[in-house]
Structure 1
Amino acid sequence: MKKILFVVIIIYSTYSFGQKRTFDGDPDVSFKTVREMAFNDQRKQAQDTLRLLLTTYPNYHDIRSFLANTYSWDGNYDLAKKEFEYILKDSPDRLDDWKSAITNELRSDSPFNALEMTSEALKYFPEHPDVLYLKASAEADMDKSEEAFETLNLILKEHPEHEDAKRFRVNLIDKLSKNTVGVSGSVDVYSETFDPMQYYLLKYVRDTKYGSIHGKININNRFSTIGAQFEVDMYPKITKGLYAYANIGVSSSSILPKLRFGAELYKSLPKSFEASLGFRTLKYSSYTTILTGSVGWYTSNNYWSFRTYVTPGDPETSVSGTLSYRRYRKDENNYFSASIGIGYSPEIYRFYGDGNEDAVVNLDSQKLNLGYNFSSANNKNLFGIKAGIDHQEISFNPGEYLWIYSISLSWDMKLGRK
């Protein structure tokens, strides 16, 4: 503390009395003290002292480098860039400053500049793994994922234990995998009246630059009847922060809607919020249209979402809502989930198949679901398990309830990089 006070007194004396604007003293001792200041919530005072030191020792590059890094940490990327340029013009053999300068460009969303700088740095440090890693980062930020993948392969060929490169490569494989196939199965067990009901899904997903396309086959085994439904889901990208969902499905089975279609718009909002608004339409003997909307919020590794379904009907309109939560681990494929909901919606609850599907829109219901999703080490295989319990009003016996216990398992596999 005494050292810090000493440096502050020097600064104050120098600037207050105007007798001189250069530093007198031991720069090594002062630099050590200033570093402590910078890491103890005295960043502004530390930067003032660093600039003062540089008036007398302009080529003390460790001091200038530290000043540049504090600028970058504070988001003053242009100031940091100016200091790094001064250092590297005079001493281009300083590897750590090349790395910090390139990182500063990446932080400032200037991947093109960062990529150019890696080319310069590699002239002095050929095939250095850390510089190549930054090159791959710049390439990925410029949507040159294939080039970034090859750069990471170059690193790992000579440095197979480079942990950052290995993790980055796994994430790129995940991003570059344009095709996914998946299968899932679930079963509902009823406390009374009904036999267990089984649900199966086969899907193929193709990612494109315009958005993803999901082809699905739903197979239900209910009421001693097996039915199939063919569906296509699309998630087109419209513009930055705005995308859509569109769906169409057909079936000839009596236990599934003959036709279903829907659409929804999703919009990113400030403060990490997202909102959506859309509809779903189901056709059995007549059409039922369901209005839906959601609000989501990302905070750190957590995601909260509330979705409501409103089904206009006669004599009453049915309203349901579900609050969902996800706690992410290392990435979007690994998370714990939980949801609670009240109200009945034809979109998310199973009709009982008693021939009265069009009228069942205002049943009482409560539900709780817990789930866990995880991936293999290389992110190629994705697994999910979910268990739930529903307290559901019986469609043909209003006022009477039963319990539904459900469990589901899923497996998705990413297919190559093309």
Structure 2
Amino acid sequence: MKKITTICVGILVIGSVTVMAQGMGDLTVDQLYEKARSEAFENGDYETARKYAYEALERSPDYHGIRIFIARMYSWESNYKKAEEELNYVLERDPENRRALMALADAQKWSGQRGAALETVNQGLKYHPEDTEFMLVKASVLYGMENYEGAEQVYEAILEDDSGNRKAREGLRDAQLQQMKYRATVSYRYDRFRTIFDPWHFTQFGITRQTSIGSVTGRVEYARRFSSDGV
């Protein structure tokens, strides 16, 4: 019975693959691309999506949009080596391809290759000067390299042309905070009770100092409870 079951499963798998292959043959390159996107985004099935995408590339190997999409899927699965291989194929044939450069910079950044990501994003800015998306990635990479001053300069350049850019404004604030040697904070909390207890008051003072090994924080809390004060 086990052997028969195994044979049946094998036949079903072969049959499904055959049906899929026959179905691919009836689709155009663009339809295959659309099927790949549908499998990836609607079903989360990257493996099947790649089958459709690679079938499209068999017919049109220099359809760069499809190859970049395949690379993105590899990156989403943390297979950065395969992603870079696909993107390098595109960039060897089209060095200025904006989408390929952006996808490569993302893959390098996500895999911790910040130096390589910075080179790629600078290449992107060479071909696409003042491209806001490239500039945001560059600032993010510099921030990750702890070059907060460099990140600040890039964020400021973005805001000069687009003062409402939320990502740049938030990034600028974070970069500036990282450069502050000391940072002070004050917080207050008030607890009120429905019983006979008087309200409780809490005030906290904190100071943080940036050091070469990270941040060091000291805090003092003042409390007034049961009509008495204390720290």
TM-score category of the 2 structures, normalised to the smaller one: 0.7 to 0.9
- Within-5 A mapping of 1:61-80: 61-80=64-83
Measure the CA separation in 1 of the matches of 2:121 and 2:133.
10
CA contact (8 A) 1:136 1:149 kept: yes
**Structure 2 residue aligned with 1:60, among 63, 66, 73?**
63
Q: Percent identity?
A: 28
CA contact (8 A) 2:152 2:172 kept: yes
For this pair of structures, how many residues does the alignment match?
Answer: 215
**Structure 1 residue aligned with 2:148, among 145, 148, 162?**
145
Query: What secondary structure does 1:92 align onto?
Result: coil
**1:11 is matched by which residue type in structure 2?**
A
Q: Which runs of 5+ in 1 are unaligned?
A: 1-5, 15-22, 230-418
Q: Structure 1 residues 33, 8: CA separation in 2 closer, same or farther (over 3 Å shift)?
A: farther
**Structure 2 residue aligned with 1:117, among 103, 117, 120?**
120
- Within-5 A mapping of 1:281-360: none
- Return the structure number with greater strand share: 1
Deviates more, 1:175-184 or 1:54-63: 175-184
- Within-5 A mapping of 1:24-103: 26-39=28-41, 40-103=43-106
Measure the CA separation in 2 of the matches of 1:196 and 1:161.
43
- 1:4-40 residue CA offsets vs partner (Å, 9 max, x unmatched): xx997363699xxxxxxxx896322322223223332
CA contact (8 A) 2:29 2:59 kept: no
Measure the CA separation in 2 of the matches of 1:75 and 1:132.
24
Measure the CA separation in 1 of the matches of 2:127 and 2:175.
28
**1:134 is matched by which residue type in structure 2?**
V
Q: Which runs of 5+ in 2 are unaligned?
A: 1-15
Q: Structure 1 residues 33, 183: CA separation in 2 closer, same or farther (over 3 Å shift)?
A: closer
Measure the CA separation in 2 of the matches of 1:42 and 1:222.
58
Measure the CA separation in 1 of the matches of 2:62 and 2:192.
76
Measure the CA separation in 1 of the matches of 2:167 and 2:38.
29
CA contact (8 A) 1:182 1:204 kept: yes
- RMSD of Structure 2 on Structure 1 (CA): 3.6
* Structure exhibiting the larger radius of gyration computed from Cα positions: 1
State the TM-score, normalizing by the size of structure 2.
Answer: 0.75
Residue 92 of structure 1: how far off its partner (Å): 2.2
Q: Structure 1 residues 200, 99: CA separation in 2 closer, same or farther (over 3 Å shift)?
A: closer
- Return the structure number with greater helix share: 2
State the TM-score, normalizing by the size of structure 1.
Answer: 0.44
**1:82 is matched by which residue type in structure 2?**
E
Q: Structure 1 residues 7, 153: CA separation in 2 closer, same or farther (over 3 Å shift)?
A: farther
With CA pairs under 8 Å and 6+ residues apart, which has the higher RCO, 1 or 2? 1
